[in-house]
Chains A and B, each alone.
Chain A
């Protein structure tokens, strides 16, 4: 009907900008990652060094430790969010006064800047000004996220739960609302108990929505940086030095751009692989069956 040229013309600014700031950076970083390059060293030139950066990376204990804590963080945060989110969504199915109001309040953290969330939780948990250490003192617990690795880890997980559970709750509410009532009534008539109904009817029916939610949360949790940077700065030690924080803290101060590029490439590669595996094993087969 219309000339295809016009179509591509309308798309071209988008493709141009995303190419310049989305794709080209990765081609460039891939190229740099095969070089020894530190602009502030005695020799500021790029030296091609094959895969030396990658070889170094495999034995980099700090990087591996950071991958490990990232996985632990993602696991605890996402599992808690799904469990809490499901319980809240299920409770939301009943009729009670003020539903819309409660849901509005619950949505609030979603729109907040991660850096603000980090700052809020810093004000909540820093000893001497925070309310949480103060309250815990009454129970004889001394919470100090500046010193205790496990406390810092737990607080980052709790912060993530506070920030992102609403997303899980709201998408599960949407899924539960759209379910037909018949199978549940039939199951009750047939004498199924609550647990049977959950495992055999509710879960299979909300599965697509559940998987999509978990998928989004996994990807987002893996990229967490701002709030943790603000709350703990990756410490104490490297207890909360998640991959993103590691790149920020490690690459820029050391100006070792060749090695930093290799880290960026590997993290991107791991993210793509994990997402691809999840996508093909969980989402794609469902779509095929329709």
Chain B
């Protein structure tokens, strides 16, 4: 478009790429540094690789438990919100419901609220109000799966709605004329067509649940504690196990990086709620 020299742009983008990558590289450097070398002069280049910290993390049964909890909670939550979001969007796009736009907007506002203001009310409700006999939702997998719906369910609805809008309504009408039940229409006609959108939603909501820290730190003690909260346990006032902390960070980072490779194109639209379509 412009005739000016592109090398300035290349130089700028190379610099930015370096600045983006270096902190991640540094995380890796710290994670593979032998403990004795940690406090010697910081060295940018890797001189030796020591997997000690990773072995320690893998052998720590508490951390393995946290990792398992993270997996259960993120997977459970992603499946739940994608399913519910799919059904809700089907209702929003196919039925002429009174006030459905208000309902739609209201679900979105749930995500806009600062998570910090959720902390105390959810903590009080989960420990004092939503109690059935001896069963409390606090510190359970189910409790966290449901709590994560507050930010992931609006997201799922927001990203799935265009997908379902894009599926022609004539298709389900034709199926109804042929005598299909509502359930058959949803599972046989709509579901296969919505599959790409559902996959992206499932993956992104999984990452958001996997990455969450604040609610997990407040609402869990031990049984449902996640990997991200385990990370902060290694930062104490008396001293921090830097190598372990870096290794856990890498473990937490890996799924996000894999996902990143899979759905790179959709990330911006997802993170901005599709508000910035340009």
Contacts and interface: CB of A to CB of B under 8 A. Distances in A.
Nearest to A28: B121
Nearest to B27: A120
B221 interface: no
B256 A113 contact: yes
B188 to A, nearest CB: 16
A14 B19 contact: no
A123 B27 contact: yes
A244 interface: yes
A261 B2 contact: no
Interface string A15-37: 10110111111101100100000
Contacts of A14: 84-85, 87-88, 107, 153, 157
Interface in B1-37: 1-2, 4, 6-10, 12-14, 16-17, 19-21, 23-24, 26-27, 30
A280 to B, nearest CB: 15
A107 B267 contact: yes
Contact of A225 (B9, B115, B228, B256): B115
A206 to B, nearest CB: 9
A182 B107 CA distance: 41
Nearest to A109: B20
A181 B1 CA distance: 8
Interface stretch (B47-55, B61-69, B206-214): B206-214
Given A14-B85, A113-B252, A230-B235, A171 B9 contact: no
Contacts of A174: 268, 276-278
Contact of A120 (B125, B129, B249): B249
B218 A252 contact: yes
B149 A28 contact: no
Interface string B236-278: 0000001001100100110011011000100110011101111
B2 A93 contact: yes
Given A28-B129, A174-B278, A209-B278, A92 B268 contact: no
B278 A175 contact: yes
Interface in B211-237: 211-214, 218, 228, 231-232, 235
A123 to B, nearest CB: 5
Given A119-B231, A124-B26, A271-B113, A108 B20 contact: yes
Contact of B9 (A94, A107, A162): A94
Interface in B79-125: 84-85, 87-88, 90-92, 94-97, 103, 106-107, 110, 112-125
B94 A2 contact: yes
B232 A230 contact: yes
Interface residues of B, number: 98
A260 to B, nearest CB: 5
B78 interface: no
Interface string A196-231: 000000000000010011011001001101100110
Contacts, number: 287
Contacts of B253: 112-113, 116
A77 to B, nearest CB: 16
B38 interface: yes
B173 interface: yes
B121 A264 contact: yes
B42 interface: yes
A275 B182 CA distance: 40
B95 A4 contact: yes
Given A8-B91, A120-B24, A209-B278, 9 more contacts: A14-B85, A20-B146, A96-B13, A105-B17, A129-B30, A129-B39, A162-B20, A209-B276, A247-B120
Interface of A: 1-2, 4, 6-8, 10-11, 13-15, 17-18, 20-26, 28-29, 32, 87-88, 91-99, 102, 104-116, 119-124, 126, 128-131, 134, 162, 166-167, 170-171, 173-175, 177-178, 181, 184, 209, 212-213, 215-216, 219, 222-223, 225-226, 229-230, 243-245, 247-248, 251-252, 257, 260-261, 264-265, 267-268, 271, 275
27 contacts: A4-B95, A4-B97, A13-B84, A17-B84, A21-B147, A21-B149, A28-B124, A114-B211, A114-B213, A116-B228, A116-B249, A116-B252, A119-B27, A124-B26, A128-B39, A174-B278, A175-B276, A213-B272, A215-B275, A216-B273, A216-B276, A222-B114, A225-B115, A247-B119, A251-B119, A260-B120, A271-B114
The 6 closest A-B pairs by CB, nearest first: A7-B95, A174-B278, A113-B211, A25-B121, A244-B116, A171-B276
Interface of B: 1-2, 4, 6-10, 12-14, 16-17, 19-21, 23-24, 26-27, 30, 38-39, 41-42, 44, 84-85, 87-88, 90-92, 94-97, 103, 106-107, 110, 112-125, 129-130, 146-147, 149-150, 153-154, 157, 173, 176, 182, 207, 210-214, 218, 228, 231-232, 235, 242, 245-246, 249, 252-253, 256-257, 259-260, 264, 267-268, 271-273, 275-278
